[in-house]
Chain A
Amino acid sequence: MAVLRWLRRNLVVIAGLCTLAYLLLPNVVVTVFSFNKPKGRFNYSWQEFSTDAWRDPCGVADMCGSLSLSLQIAAWATIGATVLGTMIAFALVRYRFRARGAINSLIFLPMAMPEVVMAASLLTLFLNMGAQLGFWTVLIAHIMFCLSFVVTAVKARVMSMDPRLEQAAQDLYAGPVQTFLRVTLPIAAPGIAAGALLAFALSFDDFIITNFNAGSTVTFPMFVWGSAQRGTPVQINVIGTAMFLVAVLLVLAGMLAGKRRNKQSR
């Protein structure tokens, strides 16, 4: 009886913890196996604890090169998609023009389209244009599919923004540039930041579209895929764990900053 009652009272917490475990278990496995010392080429069964891979993360040929390439592409794709997407979002919310409805739905199309279809059609397009496959084709493709996500994130924010705030800024002697920098941009910033983060994550780990359009260029996801055929170096787990840690630290920093801001204003 007592057990049942305890269960009933804590059911929500238990369900929550189980879901969390389900979400995070893969990350735990990746982290644990980054300290493995595998026998043979495959890092799939636990042998013994070692920090070898952590001490020499770039010990695998070409891996750090592809990682740096992926980071570069993700950074540029994020910048490109965020700038263009933010402008599109503002145009769609603020202005009434003829094709507005059509563009609103067209923007969603890349998100709904199967990635492999988009990849194949992009490749056809690039080949027909006679473009050299490589860094630039990958970057163009990434900016393209990140755009829809940025537009969606920013649009939601701009739509909920009171146009009177900008009028108030103008009324208080702020010219068009000042109004945008001091009022519009800071208020839209959370939406823009969300769109940028989404774009970075999407671009960094995209495999299908990249694989079709990269030519002989090898990004990090492509490297992982390629090496999985021949054996999996522990260093892949090290990179994976490091990425996860960076993400966790970013989230923690954001939370702390938010808390401090709230405390200050209280």
Chain B
Amino acid sequence: MTTAQEHGGDVRLTGISKTYGSFTAVHPLDLTVPQGSFFALLGASGCGKTTTLRMIAGLEEPSSGTVHLGDQDVTALPPYKRPVNTVFQSYALFPHLDIFENVAFGLRRRGIKSVKKQVGEMLDLVQLGEQARKKPHQLSGGQQQRVAVARALINHPKVLLLDEPLGALDLKLRRQMQLELKRIQTEVGITFVHVTHDQEEAMTMADTVAVMNGGRVEQLGAPADLYENPRTTFVANFLGTSNFIEAEVAARSGDDLILKAGDCKLTLPTARCTGPTATGAKVLAGVRPEKISLTHADDAGRIPEGRNRITGRIADSSFIGVSTQYVIDSPACDSFEVYAQNIERDARLTPGAEVVLHWNPAHTFGLDAAQDVEAGASKVEEDASA
């Protein structure tokens, strides 16, 4: 394989933007998706992720900037001349053609006469060999989804674009298809660009996730990196749940910052603070709910030294099988969320109990306090209605 081929599937967006009248859907954006990677554009509806995808496909003309596939500038090419294929939201299968002809469509348009073998192999890959002569409406949602993937993949595109491909499926089927898509991607080694509003979907499938908000990329990185080191409150809230404590930098001690929040002192590794680090600066100290341990106030003496700790009272608890989720009111922050594994449960931890929350300081991250603490947090309702 030559170098040119190795980079043939890179997607490079340079200063690309899209405006509709006075509304800016996508602000000038630079993005490189390396060949062979599974890349996710994640964000709530209206964040510009689908517009970005459609600009790569050529279905939307960018207001500025360029799109490169490998070394080729495709900005001016119409969709039917671009070596990319799309799996559309709700699939857009041709209702008047059977499954075989749907899958063969791209090959036939490029003038390939003997399509039978290729289509057969592709249908076997997505386990639909038996259904070749059925019409799309005779298949289940999951099967239609696989036809849509087969119809795109058979053309061996340099890049496969997926626009919320699993949105119409129920939860169980969606989990199954996530693994299926990941398997196919590993098998064919084609670059996948996947648009989704489901953070769990993005994190399970993608190598790299770009979190988008308001037409901009908020943060880009590997799923674990985004989760552990969010740089904005939007990312911290949109990917999972975060607790924030408003604090002030009181001092510096070696590699750590000492923060003051009300009566309590917290330790934050300087390297994990993306906000200001000067003494007196306001920061938001964040910590994920599953990193926190909960100890009844009577046993506070047994908590090891060197851990961040705050006190509070349990406001609510809900048992959800593998874990119990507590909501804790504390002077430092109201409705603190804590997820505790259900091992050696302390029977005293019921609503109303006085508790101490403590965690390893290394799990604390610091953000600039000059942003909306709630940004991105409303996604729970949005997911439910989607």
Contact = CB atoms under 8 A, between A and B. Distances in A.
A145 B90 CA distance: 39
Nearest to B57: A171
B268 to A, nearest CB: 48
A171 B133 contact: no
Nearest to B106: A172
Given A164-B92, A172-B105, A173-B109, A264 B133 contact: yes
Contacts of B59: 167, 170-171
Interface of A: 162, 164-165, 167-175, 178-179, 182-183, 186-187, 264-266
B92 A265 contact: no
B19 interface: no
B139 to A, nearest CB: 11
Nearest to B60: A167
A162 B106 CA distance: 19
Contact of A173 (B57, B80, B98): B80
Interface residues of B, number: 30
Nearest to B99: A265
Nearest to B105: A172
A27 to B, nearest CB: 34
Nearest 7 interchain pairs by C-beta = A172-B106, A168-B92, A164-B92, A173-B109, A170-B79, A186-B96, A171-B86
29 contacts: A162-B90, A162-B92, A164-B89, A167-B59, A167-B86, A167-B92, A168-B86, A168-B88, A168-B93, A170-B58, A170-B59, A170-B79, A171-B57, A171-B80, A172-B105, A172-B152, A172-B155, A173-B109, A173-B110, A173-B155, A182-B105, A182-B109, A183-B94, A186-B96, A187-B95, A187-B96, A264-B133, A265-B98, A265-B138
Interface string B59-99: 10000000000000000001111001110111011111010
B90 A172 contact: no
B110 A165 contact: no
A174 B109 contact: yes
Kindly name the residue among A164, A175, A186 whose own CB sees the greatest number of chain B CB atoms within 10 A. Answer: A164
Contacts of A169: 94, 105
Contacts of B79: 167, 170-171
Contact of A168 (B58, B84, B94, B133): B94
B151 interface: yes
Contacts of B27: none
B243 to A, nearest CB: 41
A171 B60 CA distance: 12
A266 B135 CA distance: 9
A9 B151 CA distance: 51
Given A264-B133, A265-B138, A174 B92 contact: no
A178 B109 contact: yes
A115 B79 CA distance: 49
Contacts of B88: 164, 167-168
A168 B149 CA distance: 12
Contacts of B90: 162, 164
Nearest to A173: B109
Contacts of B109: 172-174, 178, 182
Contacts of B183: none
Contact of A170 (B78, B133, B152): B78
Nearest to A163: B92
Kindly name the residue among B78, B85, B92, B138 whose own CB sees the greatest number of chain A CB atoms within 10 A. Answer: B92
B134 interface: yes
A178 B86 CA distance: 18
Nearest to B110: A173
A49 B330 CA distance: 104
B10 to A, nearest CB: 20
Contacts of B135: 265
Contacts of B98: 265
A171 B88 CA distance: 10
Contacts of A173: 80-81, 106, 109-110, 155
A170 B85 CA distance: 10
Contacts of B95: 165, 187
A208 to B, nearest CB: 39
B138 A175 contact: no
Contacts of B105: 169, 172, 174, 182
B23 to A, nearest CB: 17
Contacts of A171: 57-59, 79-80, 84-86, 152
B50 to A, nearest CB: 12
B15 to A, nearest CB: 24
Given A170-B80, A175-B80, A165 B133 contact: no
A183 B80 CA distance: 14
A265 B106 contact: no
Nearest to A165: B92
A202 B304 CA distance: 92
Contacts of B57: 171
B86 A265 contact: no
A264 B134 CA distance: 8
A174 B80 CA distance: 6
Interface in B187-228: none
B246 to A, nearest CB: 46
Given A171-B58, A173-B155, A174-B80, 15 more contacts: A162-B90, A167-B59, A167-B88, A168-B86, A169-B105, A170-B78, A171-B59, A172-B152, A173-B81, A173-B109, A173-B110, A182-B109, A187-B95, A265-B138, A266-B134
B155 to A, nearest CB: 7
